[in-house]
Structure 1
Amino acid sequence: MTALRSEPTAPGTHVVRVLVVDDVHILRIGLASLFSLEGDLELVGAAESGEQAVEVARRTRPDVVLMDIRMPGIDGVEATRRILQDLPATQVVVLTGEPSVRGRRAALEAGAAAYIVKDAVPSTVLDAVRGVGRGPRPGMPH
């Protein structure tokens, strides 16, 4: 497997702070490893449930939460709603293994900025996190 390491972060580049939420341990580890290879992305926490996601987000104040939808307890949609109520500047990217029109609609209505499936290539996940974490750039459409 080829290394996915990006170039070092240039001085003055905004580092996007990321919280990963998924009830599957190996996915949390894999995503943490993926982010550790990127100089402009910093993993600030991980959570295995919606309740824990809300708690960790309040404590770490991430730029982006990468959120699973289906988890025991409160699901990712409700966790998204709660996080954005407390931290309106935080962005949520939903990462789901079971995509559906209903799930996508619910996530976006809860305030998620993006919705992607777990079988996406790593660059899609990284691009989504970077895109919502950096917000609109001057000269770019909103």
Structure 2
Amino acid sequence: MVSKNTVESFGVPWEQSYGYVQAVKHGDTIYLSGQVAHEGTELVAPAPVGPDGRVTDFTNTAAQMRQCYANAARLLKRFGASLDDVVDEVIYVVDADAGDAAAGPVRKEAYGRPDPQVASTMIGTPRLAFPELLVEVRLLARM
């Protein structure tokens, strides 16, 4: 069976251990897996975690969110697309207040306009894939 999909990955270990790709292009639609704050295998602006495994400070939410959008932009570029092609996003945050405070400025910066033309949903969650993560952004783009 020949796949109609084109896929992209970063080559990080968790792609293989979990079993997924970072992005799938099917027709004119690009589906991005949830993007987290990493460069290579290193987390960017990891949150401090207490002995109980819970985040103790949410200050790095904006820095992590910026990296999520930077990673998404890198993936989209591989398909000849950009954040301008994003039509829908879901932002998962460990702390809703910190996420809400960061989302406006960071999203406007990422999309390069004061009124991003993107459907957006923010969801609070008790934890993400790594304990030090504060935010994950999943996007859908149309070309």
| Pairwise TM-score range, normalised by the shorter structure | 0.3 to 0.5
> Could you say which structure has the larger radius of gyration?
2
- Provide TM-score, normalisation by structure 2: 0.34
- Provide TM-score, normalisation by structure 1: 0.34
Higher RCO structure (Cα 8 Å, ≥6 apart): 2
**Which structure has greater helix proportion?**
1
